[in-house]
Amino acid sequence: MQVVIKPDAAAVAKYGAAIFIQQIVTKPDSVLGLATGSTPLALYQQLIDAYRVESVSFKQVKTFNLDEYLGLAADHPQSYRYFMQQHLFNHIDIRIEHTAVPNGNAPDPLHACNDYERQITAAGGIDLQLLGLGRNGHIGFNEPSSGLQSRTRIKTLTAATIADNARFFQPNEYQPHLAITMGIGTILDARKVVLLATGSAKAAAVKAMIEGPLSASCPASALQLHQHAVIVIDEAAASELTDMAFYQHIERENEALLRQLKR
């Protein structure tokens, strides 16, 4: 893992966005894995801003989202397809037919899960996967106890995740307790992974992910197995790490090495 600690959430988003922009500039037909939730919003705004000043184009890019609520149509205001349209896709030059989100309203959800895996494979696999981090260590909707080699499937959400996401639903609005999610094995297949986490509420999960044992009790700890996982966190999210200064020292040394190689 490469652990990057930034002073605040804005700096986390800027750093993460720069990785995505560089990926697209280097490979215009990149396949991106995308995430929803509050953490990626600032990163998506950075991508929109870069598109508007013509720093990057998404015309050849293909995307696959991590997950979707089971039972919500694509045009439902709480669906993740709707979220992506509102917060990214409608504001850039990506072709909508190149954007994939699991079909939460599929007549045969099990078939939809298998088909999603086939679509990712047919696209050549994911070049760069964006992740957030749940307070219980989940990535996508892979809750604690998820298999570390799992594939796209239907998952039951924990009470903690349901409670965390309740803020997005009206008091009397139906809130799904099931979702379709890429599996941990699917995520690990991505050539590069970038995980963003901000705020002290994520500090315990960050510590378990980076310093804890590889365990299904913290699904994000599976990223310890990935050859190219970049963990970008702010100081609040890093606050429970055993030696935050050591990770900052490593990153400074890495940056110095890169500057030297570029000369």
Beta bridge partners of 32: 63, 128
* Non-local CB neighbours of 53 within 8 Å, separated by 6+ positions: none
Q: Read off the pLDDT of residues 165-216 as tens digits, 9 standing for 90 and up.
A: 888 888 888 889 999 999 999 999 999 999 999 999 999 999 999 999 999 9
Residue 255 has pLDDT above 90, yes or no: no
Rounded Cα–Cα distance for residues 209 and 211 (Å): 6
Whether residue 111 lies in the annotated active site: no
Question: How many helices, marked H, and strands, marked E, lie in the chain?
Answer: 8, 10
Q: Read off the pLDDT of residues 3-19 as tens digits, 9 standing for 90 and up.
A: 999 999 999 999 999 99
Residue 70 has pLDDT above 90, yes or no: yes
For the whole model, what pTM was predicted?
0.94
Q: How far is CA 84 from CA 9, 37, 152, 260, in A?
A: 20, 10, 19, 39
User: Catalytic pick from 143, 165, 189, 226?
Assistant: 143
Residue 27 has pLDDT above 80, yes or no: yes
Q: What percent of the chain has pLDDT over 90?
A: 85
Whether residue 67 lies in the annotated active site: yes
Q: Provide mean pLDDT across the span 73-87.
A: 96
User: Catalytic pick from 65, 103, 105, 136?
Assistant: 136
User: Catalytic pick from 67, 68, 189, 234?
Assistant: 67
251 in Cβ contact with 243 (< 8 Å):
no
Task: Show the CA angle centred on residue 238, arms to residues 132 and 231, nearest 5°.
Answer: 45
Would you place residue 106 in the very low, low, confident or very high pLDDT band (cuts 50, 70, 90)? very high
209 in Cβ contact with 225 (< 8 Å):
no
Tokens matching residue 204: 């315990």
* CA distance from start to end of the chain: 26
Rounded Cα–Cα distance for residues 101 and 3 (Å): 29
Q: Provide mean pLDDT across the span 128-136.
A: 97
What pLDDT sits at residue 261?
A: 86
Whether residue 138 lies in the annotated active site: yes
Rounded Cα–Cα distance for residues 96 and 112 (Å): 19
* Non-local CB neighbours of 193 within 8 Å, separated by 6+ positions: 128, 129, 131, 187, 223, 226, 228, 229, 230
User: Catalytic pick from 103, 105, 138, 142?
Assistant: 138
Rounded Cα–Cα distance for residues 178 and 108 (Å): 14
Provide CATH code, domain 2-262: 3.40.50.1360
Q: What percent of the chain has pLDDT over 70?
A: 100
Count of residues making up the chain: 263
Q: Read off the pLDDT of residues 38-47 as tens digits, 9 standing for 90 and up.
A: 999 999 999 9
What pLDDT sits at residue 173?
A: 85
Q: Provide mean pLDDT across the span 221-249.
A: 95
Domain boundaries, the chain: 2-262
Task: Output the average pLDDT for the chain.
Answer: 95
